Amino acid sequence: MRWLEAGGANAARTLVWLHAFPLGADMWQPQLQAAPEGWRVVAPDLAGFGGTADHSGRPSIDDFAHDLDDLAHHLGLRHFVLGGLSMGGYAVFAYLRLNPSRVKGIILADTKSGADTSQAQSGRQKMLDLVASKGVDAVADEMVPKLLGATTQRADPTLALKVRAMIQGNSAEGVSRAIQRLRDRPDATPQLTRTAIPALVMVGEDDGITPVADARAMASALPEATLVVLPRAGHLSNLEASAAFQGALVPFLGAQ
């Protein structure tokens, strides 16, 4: 398993970030470089991405949770704040379902609690076919315009190149197995009302994949949630609006 770290192993508190599909831990570089004082920040590559080996057998979103638990044991993390963006958010829900006692707070960015609809599952199958027939480059062609908001694409075209490179750094098999995990994940909505820990819900106002309405629904159901809508950001809000993202994150962490 590969992971990135910042802030020092002796920091009193730990924040773990779980990345979006189909990127990797490097998407958290802005947050790693701005690790708040007193915080250790850890960002793993999820199974099948970057430098982390995948599991054998049928893919499950729970694979990500089991790997995170192994990493927590390895690093000696008794408790931590857990954050995820998009697919990373789905992994947060999986971890909360399997091992909630370690998590002291959650950050849900540009994600949703519901399972895939039949229409979304059909889209996943088309993506599986695309990976099988044309590989990861074709996935990047299709995904980059959806991941980044219109404002970002106009104002910062270099970010699209960076995101494309992150996608292309993954294997077709890893991407394919992740698609199956996304398609088959359970509905986490019933968990929301039982998640009685501090929660920060963030979403880009231009997010077309998991729009603001999804974030509002989660924040309304979570007992201790704060909702932040980030202007001029799309689905990858931590990259598109890193300063505003950090501006919402720091006070949330300061209260933990």
CATH number at 46 reads: 3.40.50.1820
CA distance 128 to 188: 23
Rounded average pLDDT over 214-242: 98
User: Which run of H or of E encompasses 193?
Assistant: none
Given this model, what pLDDT does residue 8 score?
86
Q: Mean pLDDT of all residues in the chain?
A: 97
Q: What is the pLDDT of residues 178-192, one digit of tens each?
A: 999 999 999 999 999
Q: What is the pLDDT of residues 121-172, one digit of tens each?
A: 999 999 999 999 999 999 999 999 999 999 999 999 999 999 999 999 999 9
Rounded average pLDDT over 217-228: 98
Given this model, what pLDDT does residue 10 score?
87
Q: Exposure string (b/e) for 185-214, b if CB count within 10 Å is 16 or more?
A: bbebeebbeebebbbbbbbbbbbebbbbeb
Structural domain of residue 11, as residue ranges? 3-254
Count: domains in the chain = 1
- Cross-strand pairs, 18: 84
Q: Does residue 231 register a pLDDT over 90? A: yes
- Note the helical H segments in the chain: 29-33, 62-75, 87-98, 118-134, 136-147, 150-155, 157-168, 172-184, 189-192, 212-221, 237-240, 242-254
CA distance 163 to 26: 10
How would residue 204 be classed by pLDDT, with cut points 50, 70 and 90? very high
Please, what is the end-to-end C-alpha distance for the chain in angstroms?
28
Q: What is the pTM of this model?
A: 0.97
